[in-house]
Structure 1
């Protein structure tokens, strides 16, 4: 199918590729995708409800967790319409404005999530390296400032990208490689000199994900140095256990991100199925696994879940 030229009266239409070669099985593939999205939405919504309802979770680390869950909800809701529309109804086309809006939210929320992971690393750093000053340093005001800074940074740095793309004509078939609108993917379809826009995208990545990764690594180097100086091995284990959830979350977020970036930049003949799998894993696995990680690893979350479940059983019994 051919797209419209980008003129004053006609905006281009983009087309999602789905999973090449498996079009006949899309309705069956939609079943696990629907289940995974449902689990992600319910899991993150449950975390938000627990943090809000349980007084024992009214601590900085769980406020950051609520921010993380809210971001994951946004990511799931940003990609779910286009992904499920492909599998359920074979709807593959999307207009420029809708595509730019989806792209803005996906990249902004990814940046916010990365910033929240840095804030959570700072929380663990203070808790282990300066426990006596924890409540003085991580006040409600500090938590609000760190969360707000992550949101403002993401939205501010991402704001120019849709305007950059609107200045280019799109003169090809405009077939996207993912099941959602992704900036490097759209930029590859633009006709004209994209050097500046490509460079800005690289600057955005360096100013967000690369800088955040450096801060997280530096925080854990300091945490490990502090733990190694503790007197007993038992205290070492207990200190590291408080970081386990955050470390798992960092790996779940950064590994698909790095893998997708490598596929985009350095591989040209990647299998379409592998490419599609990685692109969906990038934005689906994080919202899916984060609630599971904290439900399985965090004793406070487990206690809150048991309390809520017990209360519900009591109410039902009455």
Structure 2
């Protein structure tokens, strides 16, 4: 049976303007970093993409190396797009990135114009697209001049292969310089994608200020600290968890000190009528400084739980003080 999106898909999702641009993003965006690769079940991936769109999530975030194997998340998304969502392309924000290792030889990673243009061409083929809405440089390149990397982003927009451009994983000073160069080239930066969560607050030191001063949006990845800010590890490390597999969240990250903090935070969540996940997402979005939070999922029910966080985004001063005391303890 052909997929028919919900007629209520825009009824309750919150949309935030990305900096001083004309683009609005859903407060929660779906990241396809995990669970959408060639080793994963296509039907489960399709169900999660469908449910996300039904709930008003219009932004789907990919990268050239997402999988595994690298490239396969884009292929999966391309299949679902072709079969189910092609008629709704103009309602979707599709982003991809390049910066990490993708193919052999000197042109298969980092930030050269050669690599970025080639990588996006490959990504467009995998997804069956003429253009992406946002194209990111995925990480700073210590060797390529920033002027070359930003000129590549400018070129890609002028070629019509991306509508907007952004950066990811850049420090505050690097971001400020990238913003300046792009502004001079005439292609303003739309957005920055940093890691940000209750357990990783580096963006608060200077980066968020730089973005606000320059009218650039922000989208936080890993807002749940790779699953630490959930109820998953309150009673130890489950055998099927990310920490047990040791990819990005290591067993050594799941310390008793952190678990104790999550237990205390979870008490606040329960008082607010939320799960720990919902509290962590609401906290990242507090105050309107972050445009969107990137959620990951392995099943539809997780997406539904995440979106329900938007039912209670307001914090009292006392709640924020209690959270701050727990995090700084």
Asked if Structure 1 and Structure 2 have the same fold, meaning a TM-score greater than 0.5 normalized by the shorter chain, the answer is: no
Rg (Cα) greater in structure: 1
Greater strand proportion: 2
Which structure's relative contact order is higher, taking Cα pairs within 8 Å and 6+ residues apart? 1
What TM-score do you get using the length of structure 1 for normalisation? 0.25
Greater helix proportion: 1
What TM-score do you get using the length of structure 2 for normalisation? 0.24
